[in-house]
Amino acid sequence: MTATISVSKSAIFELIMAGLEAYAVKHQGSKSISVETAAHLWGYVNKTHPFKCTINHVSVETSAKRKRSSVEFSSESLLIKKDIAKVFGDQYQYIGTTHSHPYLREENIDAARIRKDKLYELSDADHKCEIGYPEIEVTGKSYSVALVLTVHSMLKADDRKDGTSFGEPLIEFSLGNIKFWLYGRVFEHKSKSSLSDEERHSYERYKLALSNVPNDKIVPVPLETVLESGVFIDTLCKDFGRLRFLDNESEYDLATVAERRWG
């Protein structure tokens, strides 16, 4: 089965706002600039198969413990948010989580390496976080959903690869010299003993080993996933400023000053 994640324009807007703020602005009490950020995803899920969810809203996890290369959600926060969502009806179902992967040029990482090494994907730690959290049920089957927004400030604006997916649930897009990769995956939660050979192979997609997992353990199996969003078209060739970093500080030049691509 191929699962589908559809992300609305308003949800994309909220994702970019949260991810870029955490990337470009040093937060109070933090020694590092460009920390990871996290959020919860809300929308609705089709009641029949094949699995499809539509993400319409993103709520930033302000209580998260954010660090340079990790972020930790608060379980108490989600309990409260789920009750709030119930008040607003079926269009505000809890769907899953998203977090950012911030990369700086000073770390000897550029856009080419992010693509080559697939640094936009979920990590093994991200996959592990799905274990034990099947949040969605569709006709007797259990699922969870995860998004990752990778952010990288390049030397100069370059949108030639925007819209590229590399055959994955991925969308590459740009704002000025800031490059983004939005990646999504749906997981089906099944017992290890019920997995087919193909599912066993899929489970190890993000480098988690299945060999040491008990047969009766429920595990999150990555499904073939299609990611739908109009963000590539919405952002293509739009005026935007330029973001630069120096000595753990950032500097942003507004589009009215920095944008020179169109003459």
Question: What are the tens digits of pLDDT across the range 93-140?
Answer: 999 999 999 998 777 889 999 999 999 999 999 999 999 989 999 999
* Inside any domain, residue 102: yes
> Could you tell me the residue range of the domain that residue 239 belongs to?
2-258
* Inside any domain, residue 263: no
* pLDDT number for residue 106: 74
* Inside any domain, residue 62: yes
* pLDDT number for residue 202: 95
* pLDDT number for residue 162: 93
Q: What is the C-alpha separation between 176 and 134, in angstroms, rounded?
A: 38
* pLDDT number for residue 198: 96
Question: Looking at residue 192, which CATH number applies to its domain?
Answer: 3.40.140.10
pLDDT tens profile 27-66: 766 677 888 888 999 999 999 999 999 999 999 887 767 6
34: left (phi over 0), alpha (psi -120 to 50) or beta: left
Is residue 18 predicted with pLDDT exceeding 80?
yes
SS3 (DSSP) at 113 = helix
Record the tokens describing residue 251, joined without a space: 């500097």
Q: What is the C-alpha separation between 99 and 126, in angstroms, rounded?
A: 9
Task: State the chain's mean pLDDT as an integer.
Answer: 91
* Inside any domain, residue 73: yes
* pLDDT number for residue 66: 67
* pLDDT number for residue 107: 77
* Inside any domain, residue 42: yes
78: left (phi over 0), alpha (psi -120 to 50) or beta: alpha
Q: How many domains does the chain have?
A: 1
* pLDDT number for residue 249: 85
